[in-house]
Amino acid sequence: MSAAPWLALLGVALLSFSGSQALKCQWGTNEAVQNVSQLPLTWTPGWATCVPGAGCQDTAILIVSGPQVNLVLSKGCTLAEDHEACVIQHRAGPGLAVISYTHVCRHGDYCNDLSTSALLWSPPPSTVPGTVRCPVCLSKQDCPETAPQQMCPVGHSHCYSGVLRLHGGGIISKLRVQGCMPEPGCHLLNGTKEIGPVSVSEDCSSKPDTLICHRGTMLVQSNSHEEPQEWTTHWSESCNPGQMCQETLLLIDAGHRILLVGSKGCVPEGRGETQAVSLHAGHPGVLVASYVHFCASDLCNQAQSSSVLLDDLPPPAAPEPGGLQCPSCVDMFGSCNESSRLITCPQGTMGCYDGSLALSGGGVSATVNIQSCLTSSFSSFVNDTQNLGIFSVAEIPKDREADSAPGAHSLSGAAPATSLWVVGLALALCAGDMVLAANSISP
């Protein structure tokens, strides 16, 4: 059978260190369910320049069930040791089959040059049909209750139904699998846990209920919230049973300076599906708002930018100016005393605020320093809320004498200022494996 053109993988160019030797490798990832009749498949990858010392890796995985095949591809740079090209039949078939190809090399540019599935699989010889029929299915979605059935070959008297998870090397996949097996149980992979850079596992429970979610944190300080900030992540994680995906974005705007704190990942049990933008209680000079999204499907926490929050904010008000000036600042990377700007407070201001919000959860542990005007109606930046999405929030005030507030400037005999001490800075972030983007697939 002639080779069928299949896919083009996105090319990526990475910077290498000046003056150092670095390999160029074929680069890209992709996955798609195809008809077995279209095998062998061919592909054209992109390329990347690796960091010095890295090698090139090739990984291909074929999963065959009846008339369908799922081909998984991962190419790119790796720090793994060299090994010769290797084809392994994790399960040879007939019936369900899983075959892999792995190769790590450093002997020349673009040495990870696998370009066809022909090395992995060829049609099996004819088999004698048995007496058992099993549904056959390969799908990223749930297998239909009316999935096509296949007469299993002699010696295959059990029907397999499970979920294969593949994670790593740029691949994030959850594949539903049904087909014929020679023995009962959840043994499609025959104990295989790693194929090249890809971790593999299977789940044959009646209702697999674990999700894959985007994971990562974002911290951005900017001079304006009018320009949306990118909010994507190159990492993912498998949740525990019953958990959901979440994405939480918190905005603190001090007028001339903003802070965005974002988190994506799994969320503990007990949350319902929701998506909301909330404007929290604040006071002149500071705006606090949040976007919270809990959802229950794979990779559903997929907001791309801060516009999911900014587009729903009301236009800023223009209160009547009063006679007091106060420092205005929001900062979590230093001291507000170093980046404050004096602003004219509105009428009704009773003094200046100098305090902090402690945030924890979702991979973030931080103290946000805030300075602004203080009105008589002020009680809390977050209206005494203790949780904003995945974040636990605690305001940390410490009163001191009104007339000792640094940076408070009375313009016309205004009331003396009251302020709160800043209590320091702590910051901790999560990290994870990179996920590569893949182009769409066409047969």
Residue 103 has pLDDT above 60, yes or no: yes
Left, alpha or beta for 383 (phi > 0: left; psi -120 to 50: alpha)?
A: left
Q: Which residue, 18, 80, 84, is CA-closest to 49?
A: 18
Q: Which residue, 90, 69, 71, 268, is CA-closest to 188?
A: 90
Task: Specify the pLDDT at position 174.
Answer: 87
Question: Sign (positive/negative) of CA torsion 140, 144, 148, 150?
Answer: positive
pLDDT grade for 206, boundaries at 50, 70 and 90: low
pLDDT grade for 314, boundaries at 50, 70 and 90: confident
Q: How far is CA 418 from CA 134, 264, 327, 353, 396, in A?
A: 75, 37, 12, 7, 15
Residue 192 has pLDDT above 90, yes or no: yes
- Within 13 Å, how many C-alpha atoms sit on residue 432's CB side? 21
| Angle at the Cα of 416 from the Cα atoms of 410 and 418, rounded to 5 degrees | 120
Averaged pLDDT for residues 123-145: 86
pLDDT in tens, 367-413: 888 888 877 666 676 766 778 889 988 887 654 323 333 333 333 22
Secondary structure string (H, E, C) spanning 385-420: CCEECCEEEEECCCECCHHHCCCCEECCCCCCCCCE
Looking up tokens 């029929």 gives 133
pLDDT in tens, 280-304: 865 566 788 999 999 988 889 999 9
Domain extents for the chain?
4-203, 212-314+321-410
Compute the mean pLDDT over every residue in the chain, rounded to the nearest whole number.
78
pTM above threshold 0.95:
no
